[in-house]
Chain A
Amino acid sequence: MSAVPTTPDIVILKPAKGWLSIDLKELWRYRELIFFLTWRDIKVRYKQAALGITWAVIQPVLTAVVTTFVFSRGLNVQTGDIPYPLFMLSAYLPWHLFQNSLTRSSGSLVQNANLLTKIYFPRVIIPLASVMAAMVDFLISLLILVVVMVAYKVPVTLHIFWIIPFTFLAILSALAVGLWFSALNVRYRDVQQMVPFIAQIWLYMTPVLYPITITSPVWKFVYNLNPMVGVVTGFRWALFGKTPPDATIFVSVGAVLLLFVTGLFFFRRMEKTFADVV
């Protein structure tokens, strides 16, 4: 047995009052738990599935095939010189990352209720780990994008690295909403019923399946406030060098940051009641 440390930390127990900030030091101490929970999520999702993690690739490919038939062949949506499958995938992958992160993190606390009521750890780890798990899927599916680009003879340049900041924006947006939703869901399970609808409406408000050029200029400003509009146009810009995102993206980044920070505080405030009400 290891020796008892001579000066262990002192833990204070007292009623939590008011707004708490995030204890980054503690979060760092629990970094391995974030890793293990992420690993568990991925492992469990593809367990006992013959195709295993290849599903992370198959799903976007099948979606691309179906949407190509519906939108490109059927509805004759024009995407300029970019072939529709590539046009769609370039936006669908970051969108899928966002949707996955949002859906999983929103339900995460309730799904892990047994942990919340038995063990102490910084609660924010749970939604964080579900976003990380979605991230792993995303990274795998990026391979597809590269393969499809090569197949359509679209040059892959270093410009592609511009997708990194937009990927972060997608994750941050998902987490900002996810923090609010996961904490609310502990008390009001209505949230988990609402999330799929919200995700669906959000998809229609984002130029994933259609080009941004068909949107009405009247509502342009409001439309651009959606951070996912910035993410999707940013991805297409990084990959194909098309129109860069509108400057409104800075407004939506600001809004996301605000939502994220208030989400963190709200989460911390609700945190102390999780074990009692979940």
Chain B
Amino acid sequence: MEKDTSIIVQGISKRYNIGVTQERADTLRDLITQSTSKVGGFFRRKPEARVGLDYIWALRDVSFEVKQGQALGIIGRNGAGKSTLLKVLARVTDPTGGYGELRGRVGSLLEVGTGFHPELSGRENIFLNGAILGMHRKEIEARYDEIVEFSEVGQFIDTPVKRYSSGMYLRLAFAVAAHLEPEILVVDEVLAVGDADFQRKCLGKMGDVANAGRTVLFVSHNMSAIQRLTQESIVLDKGSVLMRGPSAEAVDYYLNRGLSKMGERFWEPDEVPVTAAPFRPLAIRILDKNGVVSDSVRSVDPITLEIDYELSEDLTGLRVGYYLFTTRGEPVFTSFDTDSTELFDQFPARAKGTYSSRCVIPANTLNEGRFVLGMNASSYRIKRYFQDDQALSFSVDASGAPGTHWPEARPGAVRLVLDWTIEKRD
């Protein structure tokens, strides 16, 4: 291993067995567990959820190198293998095949707040969490004041964290994790938490880590954060590395190729986690004004967003909705199919069956550019069945829109037709 190389990964693969232990009884004990779990039935997933598959490859022959002090982004849609890769690198799980070397202590922020105990005070949790993340007591003591200051929960530091608001909890958790100083920092989507101010603070802290000569591996769905924090990125799809390049190029490649190009996306059964049941997404598509599936729609026309899904059981309080983002990750809007009181009253519960939820973005709403459509199916405050923040991407073409007689790019995600008046005042 070269001296300035921080991570080498060669042909790493990871296989997960699915349902095998439930299907085959090698021993009497297996047999007994099988029948008890069928009677109890609450902690085993249903074997029929993955018909014909007894294992999946979460990672297939992944190889790359990272130099010391480099920040590498990892991009890929849900289920592409990003989290599995980080877990292997963090040694939480062993690879099924391949070889890798890491130089130095690996700190993983796979989820902030891991090991926090609700009954313990903020102060106690700082020490506990620090120890779990691999810090020595002396290191924690030395950075204690800094951690408390960063977390902004100073006056509640002796209160049990179960009385904290979720924002305070996350700030404290991130503060501990951010003050861990390993040679290699593995970060998974921590920036999805907290308010905008705190997110900015976290990004700043991550930038400091990279600038201090540490190696950072960064997974995010936030393309602008990836571009800001990393120089290079790899694109993962179905467990394999599709490409590696400067982050701007990788983001571009991912948005243009990693997602469906056709304006329509189908979910294979193995792309949907078992936890989504009874909800199962089938397809999502963009329709132009003529009702034709299209990847590229016009700003001056209405745009229809349609999602097909199946419910294997009756479901109460379900709402299915969209998030629209720009490719830089800025949110444009969020909308659910039962937003209106009429539909809300009409669908307090949905019977088992197949559905389509459809909405129309009025003409003259979106500016030109590429957009990412995410979807979410949940019951408010009960359960989030399924979410895909990048279900589909599509382009909006502004030709013919008001103002296009000036051939300049206009900033902003929306391009509304506003009611201007001009008045001569003298």
Q: Which residues of A contact B (CB under 8 A)?
A: 1-2, 4-5, 8-16, 32-33, 35-37, 39-40, 43-44, 47-48, 114-121, 187-190, 272, 275-276
Contacts and interface: CB of A to CB of B under 8 A. Distances in A.
B212 interface: yes
A115 B129 CA distance: 10
Nearest to A274: B93
Given A4-B214, A272-B93, A119 B115 contact: yes
A119 B114 contact: yes
B420 interface: no
A278 B132 CA distance: 19
B29 interface: yes
A180 to B, nearest CB: 13
B117 interface: yes
B264 interface: no
Contact of B96 (A15, A47, A275): A15
Given A15-B95, A44-B120, A48-B119, A120 B104 contact: no
B322 interface: no
Given A14-B98, A33-B132, 7 more contacts: A8-B103, A11-B101, A12-B101, A47-B160, A48-B119, A120-B108, A188-B33
B183 interface: yes
Interface in B61-109: 68, 87-106, 108
Contacts of A12: 99-101
A115 B117 CA distance: 11
B119 A47 contact: yes
Interface residues of B, number: 55
B212 A1 contact: yes
Given A4-B214, A13-B89, A36-B128, A118 B99 contact: no
B341 interface: no
6 contacts: A9-B104, A40-B117, A117-B92, A118-B115, A119-B115, A275-B93
Contacts of B1: 10
B216 to A, nearest CB: 13
A13 B134 contact: no
B91 A40 contact: no
A235 B166 CA distance: 50
B315 interface: no
A272 to B, nearest CB: 4
B131 interface: yes
A119 B132 contact: yes
Nearest to A12: B101
Contacts of B108: 118-120
A8 B183 contact: yes
Given A13-B9, A119-B108, A272-B94, A2 B120 contact: no
B267 interface: no
Nearest to B124: A43
B90 A44 contact: no
B110 interface: yes
Nearest to A11: B102
B36 interface: yes
A204 B219 CA distance: 55
B115 A114 contact: yes
Q: Which 9 residue pairs are nearest across A and B when measured between Cβ atoms?
A: A13-B100, A8-B104, A120-B91, A36-B131, A11-B102, A118-B114, A275-B93, A272-B94, A47-B119
B323 to A, nearest CB: 26
B362 to A, nearest CB: 44
B36 A119 contact: no
Nearest to A30: B134
Nearest to B211: A1
Contact of B119 (A9, A11, A44, A119): A44
A129 B127 CA distance: 16
Contact of B111 (A4, A5, A118): A118
B201 interface: no
B114 A114 contact: yes
Contacts of B181: 1-2
A53 to B, nearest CB: 14
B355 interface: no
B32 interface: yes
B133 interface: yes
A37 to B, nearest CB: 8
Given A4-B213, A15-B95, A117-B92, A10 B119 contact: no
Contacts of A35: 131
Contacts of B91: 11, 13, 120
A10 B92 contact: no
A176 B137 CA distance: 30
Contacts of B103: 8-11
Contact of A119 (B90, B102, B212): B90
A14 B98 CA distance: 6
Contacts of A44: 117, 119-120
B32 A190 contact: yes
Nearest to A3: B213
Interface string B184-215: 00000000000000000000000010001110
Residue in A13, A43, A121, A189 whose Cβ sees the most chain B Cβ within 10 Å? A13
Contact of A15 (B92, B94, B110): B94
B406 interface: no
A241 B133 CA distance: 49
Contacts of B213: 4
A23 B218 CA distance: 30
Contact of B127 (A1, A36, A190): A36
Nearest to B112: A118
A88 B44 CA distance: 44
A8 B101 CA distance: 12
Nearest to B212: A1
B12 interface: yes
A43 B124 CA distance: 10
B410 interface: no
B99 A13 contact: yes
Interface string B238-281: 00000000000000000000000000000000000000000000
Contacts of A2: 181
A167 to B, nearest CB: 27
B210 to A, nearest CB: 12
Contacts of A187: 21
